[in-house]
Structure 1
Amino acid sequence: MTEQRKIIRRTPATPPPARQQLRLFATVPLGAEELTATELTGLGAADVAPVRGGVAFNGDRALLYRSLLQVRTASRILVHLGNFPCTSPQELYDGVRSLPWNELLTPAMTLAVDCTLRDSTITHSHFAALKAKDAIVDLLREQCGSRPSIDTKNPDLRVNLHIAKNQATVSLDACGEPLDRRGWRLDRNAAPLRETLAAAIMLHTGWDGTVPLLDPMCGSGTLLLEGAAIALRQPAGAGREFGLMRWRDFDQRLWEEVLRQEQAVAGESLAVPVLGYDRDPKAIIACRENARRAGLSYQVAFDRKPFEEAEPCGHQGVLVMNPPYGVRMGERAELEALYRKIGEVFKRRFSGWTAYLLAGDLELARLVGLKPSRRFVLFNGPLECRLLKYELY
């Protein structure tokens, strides 16, 4: 079986024309939809339409590749394959079977089907995924004499089935691993911040590398590393592989050209300090390793220092932080004292700066004792948070 897989991989299907228009969909953490829409528009996507939890858009194959490399706030990019009415298991089976799987799969490849349901007569997502899988493998068995194997963890082709109000949409997941897995963060602290959420926070701050940036509770360094990469326009996905690289119609030459173009516009260095502090020596070691893997060792500096000793590195700048808010770490009384201390340090030491604080508990955030000038709604997983902006006059 291993040798057969290698032979088939050496003779992939001919890629379709690079300018063929594709219907695409970015799945997005709640609260970041408009940010993702702005990112996609900047890349040249057409018909960009944000909806709750995602952004629909159109583009050619180069735009698909570019979105995988550059969009920092999306979780996944899906390629639309087909849609059909779906009021019964048989209608689901027939609809899935009618799609051109022989152009996408060979018996030597592996397959997985994920399913989400909403307001439909079919009520069990696992059953629906199995029915769709049966339709695909039955078709391949009839046409090729054998069927693809199932690999739910790392398939060659991951199929996304979404059924809402008895309408099924079938898409291909272009990512493999979710897009927040940049490939550089192997060391995580006790409560890691997803890279996609960190990117959303940094985009809301508008920090562009013209003033200093400081995170006095840096954890694993995610906010600073995402911020530095955004300011330098570094491709988010340059250091990892994607699921579509195993598709039969993957265009290696076009991928390399798009990657070369995106890397060519990336900056080499920042002219201002980017600093991260944390009281935990293990966190600082992890930050430095993450920065090394991200290629940002010379752009972002980390040092062991408790928050109350943080000092500004200029007359003005941006301070960003994600303090604990009691979901997974910290006792309530300790947290209340911490948030009061945050307000004291802001007022006493950071006059002239702009501070952004991600608050998962608004009662704790009120203890800062400062009135935010803006509030942005973001979700840290299922938890609704507020990114609070403070102008520290």
Structure 2
Amino acid sequence: MTFSYFATVARGLESIAAQELERLGAKEVRPDFTGVHFVGDRAMLYRVNLWARTIFKVLVPLREFYCPNSEILYREVQKISWDKYLQPHKTLAVNSTGGNQKLNHTHFTALQVKNAIVDQQRHNWGQRSSVDAENPDVLINVHIYQDRCILSLDSSGTSLHRRGYRQAMGKAPLKETLAAALLDMAWDTSLPFLDPLCGSGTLPLEAGLKALNIAPGLFRKKFGFESFPDFDKQLWQKLLTEAKNSQIRDLKGSISGSDRDPDILAQARSNAERCGIADQIKFTQTELSQLEAPADSGVIICNPPYGERLGDPQELGALYKTLGDIFKQRFKGWTAFVLTGNKELAKKVGLKASRRIPVYNGALACTLLKYELY
């Protein structure tokens, strides 16, 4: 039996996520704004949650309906038989996005949906579910757009970018999902990979998981679908076993990261230990000016500070100039990618970009610059 699902993704990464879903075997894949529609069976729902690297959440739509105001929202939510999805002894939370003229406050919209559900429970059972905003058994998503509402079950729970391995973080780390998307755009796993400004290690770690075919969901303690009434534990255990057995033992190309800060490198190594790949990734304390190519060819991806959350844009000009100089002098035969949200700083690299790929880092419009180093 097949069902329709909706994967939420970061703005601008819809096509990357669609390609990933197709590789995982999803059918009728259709990108939309900040998400991708797809069709699959229950095993596909579990597999996408376990394996997807670029997706935030997988929603299971229950109903779409006309919804111009709060009264109609309450009434339509009550038309759903909630005992199919939520027993009174299970906790719930409601997450709301979007809005319209009358439903313009997400907290109020979520409250209205919650009230409709628990009022139905009280009427039918004489008792109701408690709200647990942090770790609910069942998380419900309500999305309002113009005069339409889509009500869905959240099969993921906490966002899938929270893999579970990264307990130690630097000041402005990339989301794991964005790091995975950059790797999809820029890197072939057979080539050496280097992040010369690796911070707490997100890019090298995501590269290692990808190259060794390690499912990112293996580090998570729980998924939302495990609390669904129709949860198939035997099927889930089968998929977990398949994922563990499909891991690759050795890298085809080296993966390394460097940074000048020994404390932040200690965080990167700690995260690598949690992934179980500490022996596969080389982290070195290196000043950028002392950086040397670890191989004759390969791919560099880095996310230098660009003054939005870290550093002064005036002072960062020297960093970008050094980056460009090191690329030119010591990385002939390599391809470099630099993610930046500052066009003026990008000019300081002093190299002509062969491609400029628009990317969003959260709400910030950025560019992934590609440099062919000959």
- TM normalised by structure 1 equals 0.93
State the match for 1:217 in structure 2: 197
**Contact 1:120-1:164 within 8 A present in 2 as well:** no
**Contact 2:54-2:178 within 8 A present in 1 as well:** yes
Picking from 86, 91, 108, the partner of 2:72 is: 91
Instruction: Please state if 1:297 is matched with 2:278.
Output: yes
Q: Which amino acid aligns with 1:365?
A: A
Distance 2:101 2:231 in 1: 34
State the match for 1:115 in structure 2: 96
Summarize the alignment of residues 330-349 of structure 1 with structure 2, pairs less than 5 Å apart: 330-349=311-330
1:269-309 deviation per Cα after TM superposition (whole angstroms, max 9, x unaligned)? 11332111110001111111100101111110111111111
RMSD: 1.2
Q: Which amino acid aligns with 2:370?
A: K
State the match for 2:264 in structure 1: 283
State the match for 1:5 in structure 2: none
Distance 2:19 2:292 in 1: 34
State the match for 1:368 in structure 2: 349
Distance 2:107 2:97 in 1: 9
Q: Which amino acid aligns with 1:211?
A: L
- TM normalised by structure 2 equals 0.97
Distance 1:176 1:306 in 2: 40
Deviates more, 1:311-320 or 1:267-276: 267-276
Unaligned runs of 5+ in 2: none
Deviation at 1:131, TM superposition (A): 1.3
State the match for 2:145 in structure 1: 164
State the match for 1:317 in structure 2: 298
Distance 1:199 1:331 in 2: 27
State the match for 1:229 in structure 2: 209
**Contact 1:121-1:166 within 8 A present in 2 as well:** no
Summarize the alignment of residues 75-224 of structure 1 with structure 2, pairs less than 5 Å apart: 75-208=56-189, 210-224=190-204
State the match for 2:10 in structure 1: 29
**Contact 2:99-2:105 within 8 A present in 1 as well:** no
State the match for 1:238 in structure 2: 218
**Contact 2:50-2:215 within 8 A present in 1 as well:** yes
State the match for 1:306 in structure 2: 287
Deviation at 1:120, TM superposition (A): 4.5
Deviation at 1:341, TM superposition (A): 0.8
Distance 1:122 1:303 in 2: 52
**Contact 1:65-1:255 within 8 A present in 2 as well:** yes
Distance 1:125 1:215 in 2: 39
1:149 alignment partner, SS class = coil
1:5-63 deviation per Cα after TM superposition (whole angstroms, max 9, x unaligned)? xxxxxxxxxxxxxxx21211111011111110000011111111111111111111100
**Contact 1:120-1:163 within 8 A present in 2 as well:** no
What percentage of residue pairs aligned between the two structures are identical?
45
Deviation at 1:248, TM superposition (A): 2.1
State the match for 2:233 in structure 1: 252
Unaligned runs of 5+ in 1: 1-19
Between the two proteins, the alignment pairs up a number of residues equal to 373
Q: Which amino acid aligns with 1:344?
A: D
Q: Which runs of 4 or more aligned residues in structure 1 lie more than 3 Å from their structure 2 counterparts after TM superposition?
A: 118-121
2:310 alignment partner, SS class = coil
1:167-213 deviation per Cα after TM superposition (whole angstroms, max 9, x unaligned)? 111001111111011110000011111101100111111321x2211
Q: Which amino acid aligns with 2:88?
A: P
Q: Which amino acid aligns with 1:188?
A: M
1:340-374 deviation per Cα after TM superposition (whole angstroms, max 9, x unaligned)? 11111010000000001111111101110111111
Deviation at 1:121, TM superposition (A): 3.5
2:257 alignment partner, SS class = strand
State the match for 1:267 in structure 2: 248
1:57-104 deviation per Cα after TM superposition (whole angstroms, max 9, x unaligned)? 111110000000111111111111111111232211111111121011
**Contact 2:357-2:367 within 8 A present in 1 as well:** yes
Distance 1:40 1:111 in 2: 28
Deviation at 1:333, TM superposition (A): 2.7
Distance 1:281 1:230 in 2: 26
Distance 2:280 2:179 in 1: 17
Deviates more, 1:247-256 or 1:177-186: 247-256
Distance 1:110 1:391 in 2: 53
Deviates more, 1:62-71 or 1:198-207: 198-207
